[in-house]
Structure 1
Amino acid sequence: MLAAGRPVLAAGRPILAAGRLLAAFGVLASPALAAEAVFPAAASVGLVPPPGMTPSKGFAGFEHRSGASILITEMPAEAYGQLVERFTPEALRATGFEAHGPGTPLGVAGGEGRVLRGSQAANGLTYAKWVAVVRGASGTGLITVQVPEAARGQMPDEAVEAALSTIAFRAPGSLADQIAALPYAVGDLAGFRPVRTLMGNALMLTDGPKDVDPDGAQPMVVVAPSMGRAAVPAGQEGAFARKALATFREIRDVTVTDEDRATRDGAVVLRLRATGSDARSGRPLAVTQVIRFDGRSYLRVLGLTPADRSEALARADRVAASVAMR
């Protein structure tokens, strides 16, 4: 994953990547408890955000002018056991998160949860961080709170803890509703079909009958714009794109075979073609990655397919060319 001082997107095969993601607090007469939970559009997990935090237009969650954010990731119910199994300070240290103690229970209405508190450094800044995994009637949620150390006065720990105590679940919106709530539209599916959205930001597409494809036998496309401001210095687009591709954990032994750079409507568009192998099955893969760098944001479209179905790469590029921010 690439940290940008903002919530970080981990794009991967449906459910598999989610499975790798990595004391109840009583607040008497709390204004948070008196209010109703706020849910991102079409989402099934919500909470009462701290004062000053508003729903984000770029991801599923909330943000504050100070740079503080709450990212909500939804997963199937069966993901809870996988997450809890890896929900330890030692396991999360590999992501750069330093826990300040073991995980503790987190009270969730009609469900259960655990929370870890700690800190993480990114882009020269240090953030206070909370990571909670929760389960309710409609599924599993991973809630990540980041507060810049310089903003602790504007977003005190007590406000974060109070918000975490209000996590709630509701019936999820339909896939069509979730797609309509994305911050972009895809004009050409190019023969792929939508499978799911992730974090109110990413869209996963496949070409085949399976929604869950553990062997990597079906072509797949992931559309994922940056979250918040994520400026890449001019001239560094190629290095950024290669690093992004190398950190996609569903693929190993990545070898870039071609790089194409163009300018469209003032934006830099960089496409990489590569080969690799599926991290689980070892199946040879062909890969395309298109990133559009536009000012202080970027849009990334990643396509991967079994090597013997490389024609799907051209269709993935069609998907990339058709994406328009709303």
Structure 2
Amino acid sequence: MTDRIPLRRRFARLVPSRWALRSLLAGLVASAAPVFAAEPVFPPAGSLGLAPPPGMKPAASFAGFEHRSGASIVLVEMPPEAWDQINGKFTPEALAPSGFRVKSGPEPLSTAGGEGFVLRGTQGANGLTYAKWVAVIRGAAGTGLVTVQVPEAAAKQVPAPTVEAALRTIAFRPKASLADQVAALPFTVGDTAGFRPIGVFAGNGLLLTEGPKDVDPEREQPVVVITPSLGQAPVPAGAETTYARRLFAAQKDLTNVVVTDEDRSTRGDAVVVRLRGTGTDAKTGRTLGLTQMTVFEGGRYLRAIGFADIDRTDALARAERVAASVAMR
């Protein structure tokens, strides 16, 4: 992902499905600070929230908050067992390949809703340098990952002390039903084409499958993952296919990803890039068929990708029906 500092790539197997974190998760992030009097604010249907720094508003396209300067706070909810898999593994050395230069941490962090740790540092992306915080909190309702990123030029608009204060207000509330979580997504799905929703991730991504299993580590069931970009993702006119190919190739735990067919079209002011191809499951060695539709419009994109065994052409065709029916709210 190049539209923001990567947020989703290092968390496979931390939630009930590896697929969720894949279209989910790519990169990552106290000292004395003033205390906010404000109550925690939760994304619609979300169970993880905090009191954001002044000037930050709830984000429209992801679970978290954003500032007109480009600063953002991204909230990712994970199950309780994720804590044991993360704790002790978030180190400066482990995060270095993502480009996150950790200056301090992990350091203990006590919050309104639990306790955990925080790392602070900087990261470069899109020609900008960001101050960055990654906090992992364990609470009664589960595990929370909170990533804050503030452009260097916005340091006075979103000062570090207000970020530190916000992290100390992290709180949990009871988890909403899956139906309520789906209803709160920033997009709608007009045709599920025989697939069923099994999970919402990062507050803006949807995972669907066909079959009885909600957890399918062997990838025996067809899957569709739908994710919009995290905020603005400016792609130069004419570069949409190249960008879509880059997303298509970056499939975690798949090797030998090959594009076998591509099509570029327009839908009103939007550019639509459809790709088909194959990849090898690194764990099982099976060949999977892949189909991806990416819609670029207004500085953002919406991506739907389907996976199935290579001989399940029917499932891949229906995955394309799902993709074609998705629309931003």
* TM-score category (smaller protein): over 0.9
**1:286 and 2:289 matched:** yes
> 1:310 is matched with which residue: 303, 310, 313?
313
Q: What's the secondary structure of 2:161's corresponding residue?
A: helix
Report the counterpart of residue 93 of structure 1 in structure 2. Answer: 96
CA distance in structure 2 between the partners assigned to 1:114 and 1:228 by the alignment: 26
For 1:76 and 1:211, the matched residues in 2 are separated by 14
Q: How does 1:118-267 map to 2 (within 5 A)?
A: 118-267=121-270
Q: Which AA in structure 2 matches 1:16?
A: R
Residue by residue over 1:118-162, the C-alpha shift from the partner in whole angstroms, topping out at 9 and shown as x without a partner, is 111000000000011111111111100000000111111100000
TM-score (norm 2): 0.92
Q: State whether residues 207 and 218 of structure 1, in contact with CA within 8 Å, keep that contact through their aligned partners in structure 2.
A: yes
Describe the superposition over 1:48-68 as per-residue Cα deviations: whole angstroms up to 9, x where unpaired.
Answer: 111111111111000111111
Deviation at 1:236, TM superposition (A): 1.0
C-alpha change, 1:281 and 1:85, in structure 2 (3 Å) is farther
Contact 2:276 2:291 in 1 (8 A): yes
Superposed CA offset, 1:268-321 (max 9, x none): 111111111123222211000110111311111010012232321111110111
- Which residue does 1:60 correspond to in 2? 63
Code of the aligned partner of 1:15: S
In the other structure, the counterpart of 2:17 is 15
- Alignment check: 8 A CA contact 1:7 1:69 kept: no
Q: Secondary structure at the match of 2:104?
A: coil
Q: 2-side partners of 1:166 and 1:133: how far apart?
A: 13
Q: Residue by residue, what CA displacement relative to the aligned partner does 1:140-194 show, whole Å, maximum 9, x if unpaired? A: 1110000000011111110000000111111011111111111111000011110
CA contact (8 A) 2:5 2:123 kept: no
The residue number in structure 2 matching 1:271 is: 274
Shift of 1:108: 2.9
Q: Is the 8 A contact 2:3 2:234 kept in 1?
A: no
2:3 corresponding residue in structure 1: 4
The 1:165/1:202 distance shift into structure 2, 3 A limit, reads: same
* Counterpart residue number, 2:46: 43
RMSD: 2.0
* Identity among equivalent pairs (%): 59
Distance 1:324 1:318, change over 3 A: same
Whether the aligned pair in 2 keeps the contact of 1:25 and 1:165 (CA below 8 Å) is no
Q: Secondary structure at the match of 2:213?
A: coil
SS at match of 1:316: helix
Q: Any idea what the Cα deviations from partners look like across 1:240-270, whole Å, max 9, x if unmatched?
A: 1111111121322101111111122232111
Distance, in Å, in 2 between the alignment partners of 1:298 and 1:9 is: 16
Counterpart Cα distance in 2 of 1:163 and 1:118: 17
Whether the 8 Å contact between 1:5 and 1:125 is mirrored in structure 2 is no
SS for the counterpart of 1:160 is helix
CA contact (8 A) 2:73 2:149 kept: yes
Measured in 2, the distance between the counterparts of 1:90 and 1:274 equals 35
SS at match of 2:311: helix
- What residue number does 1:324 align with? 327
| TM-score of the aligned structures, taking structure 1 as reference length | 0.93
2:304 counterpart residue number: 301
Cα distance in 2 for partners of 1:209, 1:26 equals: 50
